[in-house]
């Protein structure tokens, strides 16, 4: 969102986690002002007056949490914490956990739903508090150039990355990379990346009630018209028709 601003002069009785995946912002707590940028998070202490926002734009995930273990997850996170993209960063996995929490709460109100969402929240918070362990649990052993590039694309599925970003990550020249990538996948890097974005969009259309103009931002495309054209070209139908077709399939089961 743009020009987002929140101030709580008396604080609240919960911790507040804010995870920035795009753009930048700032926050003020305990008399200190901090800048926060992409791939950083922070946790505002409970009971402390605070203020946060952005003067430009940012895309954030946020959650309020409490409980007997809350202080463990919040420890040391009042200052900006980096979640740098590496070969084992698992940023996409973390975001999927958050989306599953939201889907669970949207579609279920029973006690068991609340308990499941709470368990997922522990996993989400632990993926940040115990970053090394979270990454090591699914470490990649094969140092394959193309796998590294595809990994980077998946981790940046919600971002607008450029060829130079991928080249910096994999550490190869453009000509070598482009040739190797097409030989391995049969597609150029950007055609492949767009296909990943559309696959992600399809999943969101099937599993969430998110509006289409929000889904285009969730796959790193800021122009809804371009997103609709790209989706139609890839899937042979518009996003709306795809969602309706999936609903029809569900109703037949």
Cα–Cα distance list, 83 to 49, 57, 71, 90, 135 (Å):
26, 19, 20, 10, 11
- What percentage of the chain exceeds 70 in pLDDT? 94
Rounded CA separation 85/152 (Å)? 8
pLDDT in tens, 22-65: 899 999 999 999 999 999 999 999 999 999 999 888 999 999 99
> Backbone dihedral region of 53: left (phi > 0), alpha (psi from -120 to 50 degrees) or beta?
left
pLDDT in tens, 150-209: 988 998 988 888 878 888 887 777 887 888 888 889 999 989 999 999 999 999 999 898
The residue assigned the tokens 């971002």 is 159
For the record, the structure tokens of 76 come out as: 């040391």
Rounded CA separation 126/176 (Å)? 39
Q: Using 50, 70 and 90 to split pLDDT, how confident is the model at 84?
A: confident
Q: Using 50, 70 and 90 to split pLDDT, how confident is the model at 248?
A: low
């Amino acid at each position: 969102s743009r020009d987002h601003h929140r101030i709580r002069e008396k604080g609240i009785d919960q911790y507040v986690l804010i995870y920035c995946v795009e753009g930048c912002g700032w926050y003020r707590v305990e008399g200190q002002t901090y800048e926060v940028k992409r791939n950083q998070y922070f946790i505002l202490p409970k009971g402390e007056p605070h203020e946060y926002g952005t003067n430009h734009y940012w895309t954030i995930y946020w959650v309020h949490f409490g409980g007997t273990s809350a202080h463990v997850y919040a420890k040391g996170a009042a200052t900006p914490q980096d979640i740098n993209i590496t070969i084992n960063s698992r940023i996409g996995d973390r975001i999927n956990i958050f989306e599953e929490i939201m889907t669970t709460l949207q579609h279920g109100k029973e006690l068991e739903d609340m308990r499941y969402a709470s368990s997922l929240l522990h996993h989400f918070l632990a993926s940040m508090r115990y970053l090394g362990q979270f990454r090591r649990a699914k470490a990649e052993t094969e140092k394959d150039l193309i796998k590294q590039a595809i990994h980077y694309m998946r981790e940046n599925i919600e971002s607008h990355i450029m060829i130079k970003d991928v080249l910096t990550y994999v550490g190869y020249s453009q000509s070598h990379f482009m040739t190797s990538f097409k030989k391995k996948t049969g597609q150029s890097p950007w055609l492949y990346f767009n296909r990943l974005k559309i696959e992600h969009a399809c999943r969101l259309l099937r599993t969430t009630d998110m509006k289409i103009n929000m889904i285009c931002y969730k796959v790193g495309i800021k122009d809804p018209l371009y997103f609709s054209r790209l989706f139609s070209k890839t899937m042979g139908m518009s996003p709306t028709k795809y969602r309706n077709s999936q609903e029809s399939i569900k109703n037949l089961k």
